[in-house]
Amino acid sequence: MENTDKVMQAIKKAGKPMRAGEIAEASGIEKKDVEKIIKVLVKEAKLHSPVRCFYDLKK
């Protein structure tokens, strides 16, 4: 499974907005890599930030 998929799955499984550090813990990926992936997913409109520093899947 690609890291991008792991990040998306971690958020989906949690069922709530998460911080980058929480996503890193849940997915087993380093936080700095998670932050890079989040930036890409936000640009692709797959993630959004409902509250500052928290990220959730775009509905």
Instruction: Let me know how long the chain is.
Output: 59
Contact 34, 7 (CB under 8 A): yes
* pLDDT score for 3: 96
pLDDT digits (tens, 9 = 90+) for 15-44: 999 999 999 999 999 999 999 999 999 999
Identify the pLDDT of residue 32. Answer: 98
Domains parsed from the chain with CATH numbers? 3-57 (1.10.10.10)
CB atoms under 10 Å from CB of 20, counted, come to: 19
Give the pTM.
0.90
